[in-house]
Structure 1
Amino acid sequence: MSKSENRDFNAFYGIEYLNNHFATTTTVDDCTSTFIFKSALPQSILTLYQGASSFTILGAYGTGKTLLRCEYFKTLNADHYLKVLILNKEITDYIERFIASKKWNSQYCANHSCLKDWSGDEFAQLMLSILVTKFIENYSQTEIKFIDIPIEKKIHLVTIICYYYNGDSISQLENFVNGFLGKFVNTFFGTTYTASSYKASKAHVQISERNKPLLTHLQNDLNEFGTLNKNVGKLHLLLAIIEGEGFEYESIQKTMLGHVIRDLTDFSSFITKHMEKIPVFIIDGIDENQYLNPNNEVNKISFESFYRSSVCEKILSLTMTNYFYLSLFYPKIDGINILDAIVRPDKFPTYTLTWNSKSLYNYADYVLQKLNKNASRTRCKAFTDFKTLVNYEDQRIAEIIDEIQTPRELHMFMMELITQMNHDASNVERLFPATEKNVRNAFEKSLGLYYKYDEANG
């Protein structure tokens, strides 16, 4: 240790070229970590056979929901499941349209419960819209054969797709519907559209007095949905299809509003049959939502409305009959109870992520062992165990360490502790078991860092 460059935590333990897991933090969308302490996580959802299941995970901020969600996502076999990941950025899109439909603004929502009227229908609209959009965006990458589908069923499915599609590219919709309805043929040079192919732009030009009532009917119906994208190009394409296939009378007699559960059922069945994959909806990231956490303060009424919408009886009945799987990763918030909203907890279980001092220390030892395994052979010393590293036998230190409650807090603490020990490295003979001063300073600074990070991430 005579070389000054070795008087550094990472150099001393031979991990200067490794990702020091204790010195990193993850965001809600980050799935890069390879440090998965499975023994502290619900074992029933991390099965060896890569099977999906329906459940709710509840955990306070920093307890490992993101890591668990990432690991669960990885275990699902892509040959068997269509994985539909829904994070805060997707959810916000639908919530903002819902709020706009109520003619509220962001300032109003900062002081009121803007989601108090958000129901199971809105949540089902969100699910179906994202499922449709994912299907259309991935259609060109798949080889799907649509056989034995009556034209009436095709028109019903195309109507669902045109209403619920949330993408910006109408050309992707056109590509699908023309293939679905047999309106183009494949040539040696690619795809050739026939003269009868459906194009939104062509429909827009050809709108006449005769078909305006139908277009008005479709627009009025779509506008009644509080969460859906109102891109009129979708309806121009749908109008062309309805007229081209001769379904004007049937279409003007019916509405889509009020039938989202039926349509979610039908479209999920369509995917399962023709893609031979069962949809798996994975919801995470609502910790960060600005409408559930206005001004970084939890709006319990909005949170509970969103919670309950996702586990309403109509939606859970579809999970129990295997139309799709629904996996929810939600923050645990004092004063909000969603367990009584779940009609069959035996079929839709809830797991709560909890940590105690013993499990946290076991987690820390697990990380140190992983770092040891990949450390450089030129290191000065191997890691021992967490308690030795932080000098836990000192009662003053033990009292401080025992106040750490979650893996996130442990990470923040270790980041500061390493900094503190590096500052003292030139002035001590015995390097890198921590001193009481190191631990106390690190704990106090990490506590402020934790709350600052918490606020920045909702």
Structure 2
Amino acid sequence: MYIKSPTVACDSPPDAPNDFYNYYGLRGVQYNPLLFYRAEQLENLDNKCVLFYDYMSLLPTNVPILSKSMIVQAPRGAGKTHVRECIISQIPKERHIQLKIYGKTVDQYLDKFLSNIDVTSEPQSIKIQKYWTQQRFLQLILTELVSNFVNSKYLQLLKEERSHFSFHTREEIATLLAFYTTTDPDTLCKMVNILLFEKTECFVWDCNIKCDKFQSTDFAKDMFISLKEKHNEIKVKRHTSTTTDVALMILLGVHSKTGVSPLLYLQNDYRDQLTSLISFLNSMGVSISVFVDSLDESIHFFNSEDTNLVALQAFVNSVIDPETLHFALGDWGEYMHTQSALSFYVFIPEVSATPINITWARRDKIPIFTLKWNELQLINYVNYIFGHLRKQSAVACKHLPNICSVLAGQELCIKYMKKLRHPRDFHILFNILIEQINTVYSQRDPPFIATEQDLTYAFEKLQYHILKETLM
């Protein structure tokens, strides 16, 4: 039996829906970007690229959103993280490893780094400035890459592809996996056995190095001590002593089967170790993307003790060092041919009072650009969102108009949009404005359209939010 929906009364204030979202039928829409101030809050979305930043003409016309590596600089709220999510949403999920080095992850590595270096008399920001180098960042990449690859989903691929590699190569990779892994020693043990199946003297489907039990000889004890000393050089590795000891025991198991010291491979510098690992993964058809973002969320970079951002500059230098970014250029390595298996997407906070120096010179290879918004782009951006909301509205008094109709007309709309720096400013302004309009709703005819007084009030409150952000 069909029951007609009741008519919504919109003419008299007492009977009308009592807020902006009810009036325009927007309560319960699946996704309303205007309610969020950070792109990280949108992790539950099926489509991570809801707003197409290339469509909004924010990127240079010769730099598509999926450019093979890029460096983006922008202030908080300009859309760095949303661009990141757009890229991630379009990267193939199969045979691809994403290394997400975000603010909280960076904090964990820097906490470990600061606790492991011997100098204790200087402020933490100065320690980072002096002692955090490109070599430390390479250690971080090695640890993240190995920890992502040591995963049960790659076991079958490893079995299928191992015959394409010499035993020497597989032995080197087994050593790197055991030395840099931070979790899951059981999967590590299975991978080592798959890689070195000849030496385990077993069938392909039943390999088993005794990862936690082998004869404890004086030589083995000395080797274990040497491995621990070598491991202590990794100042940024996230690990527990238990995980480390198990992984090093697996290395001893490898040594007991092959007779080759793992120190032979670990004496190579970090760049050579990373080259070997990337080349191995590339030959198996596994590509890698490195995302460095949310640095403005790190407690080590933005605090009252480091007003000159020396720690942030040191970290950025380690990331955009030419030797680091060279991995993404595609013209190196025995197996790399013409295309690199690794892409870098680096998002750097822009702070007007303390500019961050970006020294990368090969912009023809890895472009650098800044996200900048003008009033017309902001209007288009909001109308794009309004179009999405309008399609999902239900039981509305009126259809949601364009943004300038809501903001008291074209002239005032442009005037106040010019005052805003980026989308986050608008999100904050809009939520303040809607709260203000709802408060005076019963006094208006027609309702839910801002006046200049409303806009002035909302902008003054926005300035307070901006000031708080500046002092953070």
Task: Give the TM-score range, shorter chain.
Answer: 0.7 to 0.9
Superposed displacement of residue 186, structure 1: 7.2
Query: Where does residue 433 of structure 1 map in the other structure?
Result: 449
Superposed displacement of residue 10, structure 1: 0.8
Q: Structure 1 residue aligned with 2:79, among 52, 64, 75?
A: 64
**Is 1:123 aligned to 2:140, yes or no?**
no
Question: Identity over aligned residues, as a percent?
Answer: 20
Residues 46 and 75 in structure 1, CA contact (< 8 A), matched pair in contact too: no
Q: Distance in 2 between matches of 1:29 and 1:103?
A: 38
Alignment of 1:17-416 (within 5 A): 17-18=28-29, 19-28=31-40, 30-31=42-43, 32=45, 35-38=50-53, 39-42=56-59, 46=64, 53-79=68-94, 81-103=96-118, 109=123, 112-139=126-153, 142-144=156-158, 145=160, 146-167=162-183, 169-182=184-197, 183=200, 192=206, 194=208, 197-199=209-211, 201-203=212-214, 206-228=215-237, 229=239, 231-248=244-261, 251=262, 254=264, 256=266, 259-274=269-284, 276-295=285-304, 298-321=307-330, 322-334=340-352, 335-339=354-358, 341-376=359-394, 378-392=395-409, 399-416=415-432
- With the length of structure 2 as denominator, give the TM-score of the two structures: 0.84
Superposed displacement of residue 88, structure 1: 2.0
Other structure's SS at 1:328 match: strand
Residues 58 and 373 in structure 2, CA contact (< 8 A), matched pair in contact too: no
Q: Output the amino acid matched with 2:293.
A: D
Q: Output the amino acid matched with 1:219.
A: K
Segments of 5+ residues of structure 2 without an aligned counterpart are 1-9, 331-339
Superposed displacement of residue 53, structure 1: 0.8
Q: Distance in 1 between matches of 2:172 and 2:426?
A: 53
Superposed displacement of residue 420, structure 1: 0.7
Q: Distance in 2 between matches of 1:77 and 1:365?
A: 30
Sort the Cα spacing of 1:349 and 1:100 in 2 relative to 1 into closer, same or farther, 3 A: same
Residues 16 and 23 in structure 2, CA contact (< 8 A), matched pair in contact too: no
Residues 125 and 300 in structure 2, CA contact (< 8 A), matched pair in contact too: no
Q: Distance in 2 between matches of 1:299 and 1:166?
A: 34
Superposed displacement of residue 429, structure 1: 2.1
Superposed displacement of residue 166, structure 1: 2.2
Superposed displacement of residue 104, structure 1: 5.7
Q: Distance in 2 between matches of 1:239 and 1:141?
A: 22
Provide the aligned length of Structure 1 versus Structure 2: 435
Residues 432 and 458 in structure 2, CA contact (< 8 A), matched pair in contact too: yes
Other structure's SS at 2:97 match: strand
Q: Could you report, residue by residue, the CA deviation over 1:153-175 in whole angstroms, capped at 9, with x for unpaired residues?
A: 222111111221122x3222112
**Farther-moved stretch of structure 1 (304-313 vs 58-67):** 304-313
Other structure's SS at 2:51 match: coil
Q: Could you report, residue by residue, the CA deviation over 1:139-191 in whole angstroms, capped at 9, with x for unpaired residues?
A: 45753321132222222111111221122x3222112112222246577xxxx
Q: Distance in 2 between matches of 1:379 and 1:82?
A: 45
Q: Structure 2 residue aligned with 1:11, among 22, 36, 40?
A: 22
Sort the Cα spacing of 1:138 and 1:390 in 2 relative to 1 into closer, same or farther, 3 A: farther
Q: Distance in 2 between matches of 1:222 and 1:29?
A: 37
Superposed displacement of residue 416, structure 1: 0.8
Residues 98 and 226 in structure 1, CA contact (< 8 A), matched pair in contact too: yes
Residues 58 and 330 in structure 1, CA contact (< 8 A), matched pair in contact too: yes
Superposed displacement of residue 117, structure 1: 2.3
Sort the Cα spacing of 1:246 and 1:259 in 2 relative to 1 into closer, same or farther, 3 A: same
Residues 225 and 257 in structure 1, CA contact (< 8 A), matched pair in contact too: no
Residues 114 and 124 in structure 2, CA contact (< 8 A), matched pair in contact too: no
Q: Distance in 2 between matches of 1:307 and 1:433?
A: 45
Q: Distance in 1 between matches of 2:304 and 2:39?
A: 19
Superposed displacement of residue 217, structure 1: 1.6
Q: Could you report, residue by residue, the CA deviation over 1:313-368 in whole angstroms, capped at 9, with x for unpaired residues?
A: 211222112241111112123443433x2132211110110011121112112111
**Farther-moved stretch of structure 1 (13-22 vs 28-37):** 28-37
Q: Distance in 1 between matches of 2:98 and 2:62?
A: 19
Other structure's SS at 2:266 match: coil
Q: Distance in 2 between matches of 1:400 and 1:147?
A: 65
Q: Distance in 2 between matches of 1:134 and 1:445?
A: 44
Q: Distance in 1 between matches of 2:414 and 2:127?
A: 43
Q: Distance in 2 between matches of 1:407 and 1:262?
A: 43
Q: Distance in 1 between matches of 2:369 and 2:32?
A: 30
Superposed displacement of residue 13, structure 1: 1.1
Residues 63 and 367 in structure 2, CA contact (< 8 A), matched pair in contact too: no
Q: Could you report, residue by residue, the CA deviation over 1:257-287 in whole angstroms, capped at 9, with x for unpaired residues?
A: 561101111101111112x122111211111
Residues 265 and 323 in structure 1, CA contact (< 8 A), matched pair in contact too: no
Query: Where does residue 419 of structure 1 map in the other structure?
Result: 435
Other structure's SS at 1:265 match: helix
